[in-house]
Amino acid sequence: MTPHPTQTNTVLSQQDLLEAGLNRSPADNPPREIPRLIGMDLAALEAMLADWGEPAFRARQLHSWIYVHAVRDIEAMTNLSKGLRNRLHQDTRLGQLELVDKQISRDGTTKYLFRLQDGNVIESVWMPFQERESTSICVSTQVGCAVNCGFCATGKLGLKRHLSAAEIVEQLLYVRHDSGQPINNLVFMGQGEPLHNYDAFIEALRLINQSAELGMRHITVSTAGLVPQIRKLADEQLQLTLAVSLHAPDDDTRNRFMPINQRYPIAELMGALQYYYDQTHRRLTIEYILLAGLNDSDTHAQALGNLLETLHCNINLIPYNPIGAEYGFKRPDRLACLRFKRTLEAHSRHKVTIRLERGTDIDAACGQLANRHQAPARS
């Protein structure tokens, strides 16, 4: 009999890597030599243009072109004077993302591979939902990730650095411009652990909400369970949706593929989630990846229902999206997923859904972002 995949033998070394990565300072972002317009709020634009002798209304016009219209060319800002456009060309840059690759799935999902100014690359995913006439974008918050969940391709990259707020925001603006459609929903579920890059995440969040005019209730952030940051986010009292990558109802199971559980075990995590709800009164989303033979039994379903009994939450089941046979995980068949859902519903008062599969044919689904189509670095 083939043993179930487990990371028990490597968990100490992974935990050492996790500790080193999670203790890295957010100051790892590269310095900006030339001012970048994307990332500047209205007050910053007003201050810059005031120094140039421009009236305040010009800053409001510029702000609208950047964040509301999401233009990619200063020359498209036609209500600005030619002199001001020339000055902007000379003394600033609009953004920094360079499109390296773009793949379109048979379901319409589009994956973007962007090169950053320092040569690192990240991925973003745009998802149109024709049945409900809405679009969503999934953005990255780090280059790589320190959390190293066993079933996630991004974790295999390791953490290279945090993204700046501007780099996070520009993903949304670039995709909005490229798609030619408004973005209805934003999910921080791309590469990286958003709450590990807390300060830049919050700065980007406020800029998107206040400047790009996307309501907080249309924004979701996913975390692997950084307990102090969950409590800190709760104290912000924002009206976004917090999604938590739980993936197991007990510590023994969760330790096998989520090294972070050794630092913040389930009991501690559940306390933070209850605190989050008490502070925000926002129902949480519990994410649960179904891994064949590991966490998909009736016993696991019953234990999950018991664990979440008093928490105000919805439960989103995610059949495992393959990232490579060498990692040893398998996707349960459809009947096994449905059986788990029915068993969980019988032992839970919560709404339980199975996530709609999107973009698996282009490695754009949950857990699959790994820059696999990375172009050679520029010389």
Strands 159-162 and 142-144: antiparallel
Give catalytic status of residue 366 as yes or no.
yes
The residue annotated as part of the active site, out of 123, 167, 170, 287, is 123
Half-sphere exposure of 178 (CA within 13 A, CB side): 21
Q: Are 140 and 208 in contact (CB under 8 A)?
A: no
- Residue from 253, 218, 156, 203 nearest 26 by CA: 203
The helix (H) or strand (E) run that includes residue 85 is helix 82-91
Consecutive H or E run containing 67: helix 56-67
Catalytic residue among 138, 145, 337, 366: 366
The helix (run of H) or strand (run of E) holding residue 70 is none
Could you give the CA distance from residue 187 to residue 176 in angstroms, rounded to a whole number? 14
Tell me which H or E stretch contains 334: helix 334-346
Q: How far is CA 197 from CA 42, 135, 155, 174, 273, in A?
A: 23, 25, 15, 21, 19
| CA neighbor of 296 nearest in space, from 243, 251, 344 | 344
Q: Which residues are identified as catalytic?
A: 123, 366
